[in-house]
Structure 1
Amino acid sequence: MPAISFQSVCKTYQTPNGPFHALDHVSLDIAQGEFFGLLGPNGAGKTTLISILAGLTRATSGRVLVQGSDVQIDYAAARRKLGIVPQELVFDPFFNVREALRFQSGYFGVQHNDDWIDELLDSLGLADKAGANMRQLSGGMKRRVLVAQALVHKPPIIVLDEPTAGVDVELRQTLWHFIARLNKEGHTVLLTTHYLEEAEALCGRIAMLKSGRVVALDATSELLKAASGNVLVFKTDSVLPPALAAQARVTGRVVQMVAHDTQEIEQHLAALRQAGVEAQDVEIRRADLEDVFLGVMAAATGGRGA
């Protein structure tokens, strides 16, 4: 039995311009104990899919099962099996951190949970904030509390919707160390993130969404094999001529150009010299998940727009 099963899930919103298909027959299974990544650009349908999984939004058609429990028909059983960390910072301003976690335990009927709460506080770097009012915490600390609230009832399935968006490096490392430990202990993890290096390092399998459709679904290692080749990376203060700019990915002074072999690398360098572009800090790296992602999204652009 899969931990999570999305079965031909559709979500359609009626708008003044006609129906908008946020999800278009999304089907995929996530195995028990898997660390699964769900990637896509803004507006691809990731959060809509998570909201349907959590019971916050109803699918127009299709089914979602959590360890066999239908999220609409058997909502209570499905919800008990999930621990969801949302994108938004949602908190009760009237409680301190420990009280918030105790109340969250109570929502799931879990009593005498202080030992596990203490472990969560320690593992997420919140031990010294246990008595602090939620209003006094920084944004990063509030996000740590959200993670603790999602885990306080020891759910077998952990759903992380952009958990490290806008947080510091320390929190990211602390969070991933703890989540990786829980995954090794048998917890299933579903992650959405825009930090593709995180997905590449953590996820054994990845699905990519665009415009509400699954456009790629495979093991991370297999997706990376499909991007066999190299990337020429350099810095420049020069403006690239149009012919080179069309092949490049430019971020400030950093330019990246895909090169499938040594001959193509030399062709790029020769074109740069001929155009009078001064390249600094030149390096060659292997293609990574970001390159795969951009390639998949570009190939999927032939479909309907986002």
Structure 2
Amino acid sequence: MNTPHPSAPAVRAEGLVKTFGEHRAVDGVDLEVHRGEVFGVLGPNGAGKTTMLSMLATLIPIDGGDAQVFGHDVRREPHLVRQLLGVTGQFASVDENLTATENLWLFARLQGLGRAEARSRGAHLLEQFDLTEAASKPISAFSGGMRRRLDLAASLITRPPLIFLDEPTTGLDPRTRGQMWTTIRELVLEGSTVLLTTQYLDEADQLADRIAVIDHGLKVAEGTADELKSSVGRSTLQLQLADAADLPAAAELAEQLLGEAPVLSPESRRVNIPLQRTDQSIDVLVALRDRGVSIESVTVQKPSLDEVFLALTGHDTGGPDSTDDPGDATGTDASPSDQPTQMEVSR
């Protein structure tokens, strides 16, 4: 396998553009993915996430801008780039007519491993992804979660330092999603870098060290989950008082301290106090204690990623079960053969 440049980021893209006819599926996106992180690309159906990933993976041509993977130019050195990454697309790329063992052996041989090494590597991956008991079963007998795990295992045959995961948990039940999240975290702990596209807001929140929000081919925001949340709204201190009779005094005190009237919910004895800074909650709590106001529960509520996405794009992500085929948005985007699959990268 080719060696990454020691000082280069895992991925760097500047002004990345992809057009299909008059439609700009990716419109000047800048991206930098640091080594050893999970970088999340969050966006609705048709936003351009898969198209962007396909360009970075050398599966479709770049129409504008530049991109490097570990310092290697994606357009000029595609053969080197392919040696440095593994890709798991939205749809399983395994052969339905083969067993799990046969699929992994096939992928290993296609990537140049000898027969003995291919068998050994396949057996190790089946054990790592908890598929040993199903090793001899045809893929047609696999559940959706088992297929996704096998697809991810196939992308790791050569232990690439960079892994592209395109909607890795779409259609999975909550338990299997949790297993995939654990696997992704383990890959990073073992030294991999992960570029993850998703429509699941909670998935980006749980897994990603940093997040880029993509909409209509444009990057509309980037940052950590906390940074994105802070950019669109303030935190709220939510108090439930022991005695509803203390609500007026609590509201008056909060307004004196922070200069803004809180929202009261007398029926539930709640006070919702907007905060300019999270640490202001301490001042309010100390003042209420000194006033003798008894509090049953305290919560500091940050804006959610749902609120972030709605504020940035004016709509939600379009539902977790939809796919990111850019053709859904315009009817003119990439054909199914343009979508990233492990088999295409292996070639």
* Secondary structure of 2:306 counterpart: helix
Q: Give the Cα separation in 1 of the matches to 2:262 and 2:132.
A: 54
Alpha carbons 1:37, 1:192 under 8 Å: kept: yes
Alpha carbons 2:109, 2:118 under 8 Å: kept: no
Residue in structure 2 matching 1:9, options 4, 13, 16: 16
Q: Give the Cα separation in 1 of the matches to 2:156 and 2:136.
A: 19
Alpha carbons 1:162, 1:193 under 8 Å: kept: yes
Q: Which residue type is aligned with residue 66 of structure 2?
A: R
Quote the residue 1:235 is aligned against: none
Q: Give the Cα separation in 2 of the matches to 1:290 and 1:119.
A: 39
Q: CA deviation at 1:262?
A: 8.7
Quote the residue 2:206 is aligned against: 201
Q: Give the Cα separation in 1 of the matches to 2:25 and 2:103.
A: 34
Quote the residue 2:305 is aligned against: 289
Task: Say if 1:262 and 1:153 are closer, same or farther in 2 by CA, change over 3 A.
Answer: farther
* Secondary structure of 1:25 counterpart: strand
Q: Give the Cα separation in 2 of the matches to 1:171 and 1:153.
A: 25
Residue in structure 2 matching 1:68, options 66, 71, 74: 71
Quote the residue 1:129 is aligned against: 134
Q: Give the Cα separation in 1 of the matches to 2:16 and 2:126.
A: 37
Residue in structure 1 matching 2:30, options 10, 19, 27: 27
Q: Supply the RMSD in Å over aligned alpha carbons.
A: 2.8
Q: CA deviation at 1:12?
A: 1.1
Q: CA deviation at 1:203?
A: 0.8
Q: Give the Cα separation in 2 of the matches to 1:125 and 1:290.
A: 33
Cα deviation code 1:110-148 (max 9, x no counterpart): 330444433322232211111111222222222221111
* Secondary structure of 2:264 counterpart: helix
Which of the pair has the greater relative contact order for Cα pairs under 8 Å at 6+ separation? 2
* TM-score between the two structures when normalised by the length of structure 2: 0.68
Q: Give the Cα separation in 2 of the matches to 1:119 and 1:154.
A: 12
* TM-score between the two structures when normalised by the length of structure 1: 0.77
Q: Give the Cα separation in 2 of the matches to 1:142 and 1:231.
A: 44
Q: Which residue type is aligned with residue 60 of structure 1?
A: D
Quote the residue 1:163 is aligned against: 168
Q: Which residue type is aligned with residue 34 of structure 2?
A: A
Alpha carbons 1:46, 1:209 under 8 Å: kept: yes
Q: Give the Cα separation in 2 of the matches to 1:148 and 1:264.
A: 52
Alpha carbons 1:123, 1:178 under 8 Å: kept: no
Q: Give the Cα separation in 1 of the matches to 2:197 and 2:266.
A: 35
Alpha carbons 2:42, 2:198 under 8 Å: kept: yes
Quote the residue 1:37 is aligned against: 40
More strand by share: 1
Q: Give the Cα separation in 2 of the matches to 1:200 and 1:12.
A: 30
Residue in structure 1 matching 2:181, options 154, 167, 176: 176
Quote the residue 1:189 is aligned against: 194
- 2:54 is the alignment partner of 1:51: yes
Q: Which ranges of structure 2 fall in alignment gaps of 5 or more residues?
A: 1-7, 239-258, 268-298, 316-328, 331-347
Cα deviation code 1:216-238 (max 9, x no counterpart): 01122211222332499xxxxxx
Q: How many residues align?
A: 258
Quote the residue 2:227 is aligned against: 222
Q: Give the Cα separation in 2 of the matches to 1:262 and 1:291.
A: 22
Quote the residue 1:100 is aligned against: 103
Alpha carbons 2:235, 2:300 under 8 Å: kept: no
Q: Which residue type is aligned with residue 2 of structure 1?
A: P
Q: Give the Cα separation in 2 of the matches to 1:231 and 1:49.
A: 40
Alpha carbons 1:123, 1:174 under 8 Å: kept: no
Q: Give the Cα separation in 2 of the matches to 1:73 and 1:154.
A: 23
Q: Which residue type is aligned with residue 124 of structure 2?
A: E
Q: CA deviation at 1:160?
A: 0.7
* Secondary structure of 1:91 counterpart: coil
Task: Say if 1:268 and 1:189 are closer, same or farther in 2 by CA, change over 3 A.
Answer: farther
Alpha carbons 1:7, 1:27 under 8 Å: kept: yes
Percent sequence identity over aligned pairs: 35
The structure with more radius of gyration = 2
Q: Which residue type is aligned with residue 93 of structure 2?
A: V
* Secondary structure of 1:266 counterpart: strand
Q: Give the Cα separation in 2 of the matches to 1:231 and 1:90.
A: 48
Q: Give the Cα separation in 2 of the matches to 1:28 and 1:93.
A: 36
Q: Which residue type is aligned with residue 58 of structure 1?
A: P
Q: Which residue type is aligned with residue 192 of structure 2?
A: H
* Secondary structure of 2:67 counterpart: strand
Task: Say if 1:115 and 1:263 are closer, same or farther in 2 by CA, change over 3 A.
Answer: farther
Q: Give the Cα separation in 2 of the matches to 1:113 and 1:231.
A: 57
Q: Give the Cα separation in 2 of the matches to 1:37 and 1:145.
A: 22
Q: Which ranges of structure 1 fall in alignment gaps of 5 or more residues?
A: 233-260, 270-282, 300-304
